[in-house]
Structure 1
Amino acid sequence: MTPHSAVPHLAPESRLSDFFQGLGLLGRAFSLLFRSRRLFLLSALCAAVTAVALVGLAWLLYRHAPGLLAGYWALPESWYGRVGWYTVLVLSALVVWVVGANVVPPLLLAPLQDPLSETTEAVVGGDDGPPFTLAGFVRGIVTGVAHTLARLFFLVLGLAILLPLHLVPGVGSVLWTVLGSLWTMTWMAGEYLAAPMTRHLYSFAEVRRMLRERRALCLGLGAGVYVLLWVPILNAFFLPLAIIAGTLLYRGLRQANLLPPPPDATPVALK
């Protein structure tokens, strides 16, 4: 695969098979990672920080999750009550760990996300984006933080709406885990597609439009990142691979004329 061919060719209309094309973006990203020395070094640095963050999150959950759950629901005396209690503990901890993995490493590695996306576009022959100016740099940071806060709000809101499912005996916690995972996958797609789109000064409304109009494609990307989080060693590379894959998706959307040309350097309002 040549660097230019790493950009996916997308059908003009949405279709169910788009899910597998979105899933395959992680493979394209992994292959592209070795095409550029700078891309590889940036990814290795991200992987080192991410590995420490993921281990730290797992340790915190191991130490404190049982106590937090016990504060709301005391450990039952009966064996079936204990089975239910530990089921809720494990399923909830898994979702919280995934959410934490998509909040803590990106915050720690925020300064490297734009260089990763920019280098990816350079490797595949993409646009360089607007010329560097101090005002544009500051505006980009403000826009990126605003978009990130908006996306985090929607992530937490969706999980909070699903939280009462825990009250349904038996299958409630399973349903919460399944639906919460699907919601998190969708959020991941938005998070990593937004990385290059924010750099090119697209509004958050455009990110939402792509998630809505190419739902299967974006869900495939989110599912790929979600699965990658559970693969030991490789999960340390989930952030750079997700950013590279999101940038390839952005380039594919532009190539298929599904996105309008990037806005100019005028301020972008959060919609």
Structure 2
Amino acid sequence: MITQPFHAVGAFFKSLPLILSPGMRLFILAPLIANIILMALIYMVALSYFQDLLNWATGYLPEWLSFISWLVNLIFGAVIAVLLFYSFSVGVNILAAPFMAFLAEKVEEKTTGKVFDEALTFAGIMSTIGRSLQREMQKILYFVPRFLLLLVMSFIPLVNVIAPVLLLLFSAWMLALQYMDYAFDNNKVAFYDMRMALRSKPLLCWTFGGIVMVSLTIPLFNLFVMPIAVVAATLLWVSIFRVENGDFSALLNSQNGMK
């Protein structure tokens, strides 16, 4: 388990040259445009409501913890920023999902030689859109009740001290869930089975989500986070999750390579 964070960091380093390789650059354009729209919306809302939301959230901090108000402000600020991002990213992810799904396919094909049935045609894109919409709805239904529970915990005395930390960890988990889902979905792994697979490696998922979270705060670079995260997540699927989740072709290929 202690090596899981290193796997996540390594996947991001490996994704940078891969995303710029021939055949991959096409898939940068769609998420780039989507992210420009997303960031513009986030900054507009942040300028208008961010400080009000922060004051509202920190208003529930007990007076006896006022000496760490700076830390609570920092944590609440990060949580609110992530929640703002996630709120707007639902629509953007649906818009970019077909391109990200095909990007994950191309990465897996390039690294393993596996060939997928879907092609970048109208029929293939429509099929991917339908599947992506279903998965996005599953993510929303998974996210909302858990987020509401954590939000309620923020109003409970004493418990509200750790609620921001739990919200931050949950946000990192949701970001990992979002970007790793493309490779799992391409390989017909059910949403529940994907969650169980990711849950078995919590440090990997929190590290992955944390890297995405921090990357989203870097101006200009945050515009390219989506395709980079998808490539990194697909590399983690190939190196860690692929054989464990029923890809018998991967097992067969590895056995043939040993002969």
Scaled by the length of structure 1, the TM-score of the pair is 0.73
Between Structure 1 and Structure 2, which shows a larger proportion of helix residues?
Answer: 2
Q: In structure 2, do the counterparts of structure 1 residues 68 and 148 end up closer, same or farther at CA, with 3 Å as the change threshold?
A: same
Superposition pairs of residues 7-156 of structure 1, within 5 angstroms: 15-36=1-22, 38-65=23-50, 87=73, 90=77, 93-100=80-87, 102-130=89-117, 140-156=128-144
Q: In structure 2, do the counterparts of structure 1 residues 228 and 65 end up closer, same or farther at CA, with 3 Å as the change threshold?
A: closer
Cα distance in 1 for partners of 2:168, 2:184 equals 24
Cα distance in 2 for partners of 1:177, 1:129 equals 42
Per the alignment, in what secondary structure is the counterpart of residue 258 of structure 1? helix
- Runs of 5+ in structure 2 lacking a partner? 60-65, 250-259
Q: In structure 2, do the counterparts of structure 1 residues 23 and 152 end up closer, same or farther at CA, with 3 Å as the change threshold?
A: farther
Per the alignment, in what secondary structure is the counterpart of residue 247 of structure 2? coil
1:229 aligns with 2:216: yes
CA contact (8 A) 1:105 1:239 kept: no
CA contact (8 A) 2:8 2:204 kept: yes
CA deviation vs aligned residue, 1:180-208 (integer Å, no higher than 9, x gap): 12111112222212102212222112211
Shift of 1:243: 0.9
CA deviation vs aligned residue, 1:124-155 (integer Å, no higher than 9, x gap): 24312235598876554433222211112222
CA deviation vs aligned residue, 1:98-136 (integer Å, no higher than 9, x gap): 323542431231231122112212332431223559887
Cα distance in 1 for partners of 2:201, 2:79 equals 29
- Runs of 5+ in structure 1 lacking a partner? 1-14, 75-79, 264-271
- In the alignment, which residue of structure 2 is the partner of 1:249? 236
CA contact (8 A) 2:11 2:236 kept: yes
One-letter amino acid matched to 1:204: F
Cα distance in 1 for partners of 2:81, 2:143 equals 15
One-letter amino acid matched to 1:31: P
Shift of 1:66: 5.7
Scaled by the length of structure 2, the TM-score of the pair is 0.76
1:157 aligns with 2:137: no
One-letter amino acid matched to 1:218: C
Cα distance in 1 for partners of 2:204, 2:31 equals 26
CA contact (8 A) 1:155 1:184 kept: no
Per the alignment, in what secondary structure is the counterpart of residue 127 of structure 1? coil
Q: In structure 2, do the counterparts of structure 1 residues 254 and 160 end up closer, same or farther at CA, with 3 Å as the change threshold?
A: closer
Shift of 1:63: 1.8
Identity of aligned residues (%): 21
Q: In structure 2, do the counterparts of structure 1 residues 161 and 25 end up closer, same or farther at CA, with 3 Å as the change threshold?
A: same
Q: In structure 2, do the counterparts of structure 1 residues 168 and 121 end up closer, same or farther at CA, with 3 Å as the change threshold?
A: same
Q: In structure 2, do the counterparts of structure 1 residues 151 and 262 end up closer, same or farther at CA, with 3 Å as the change threshold?
A: farther
Cα distance in 1 for partners of 2:128, 2:30 equals 23
Per the alignment, in what secondary structure is the counterpart of residue 246 of structure 2? coil
Cα distance in 1 for partners of 2:14, 2:37 equals 26
Over 6 Å off, 4+ runs: 67-74, 133-137
Match of 1:204 among 188, 191, 194: 191
Shift of 1:18: 0.7
Q: In structure 2, do the counterparts of structure 1 residues 24 and 51 end up closer, same or farther at CA, with 3 Å as the change threshold?
A: farther
Shift of 1:227: 1.6
Cα distance in 2 for partners of 1:103, 1:59 equals 17
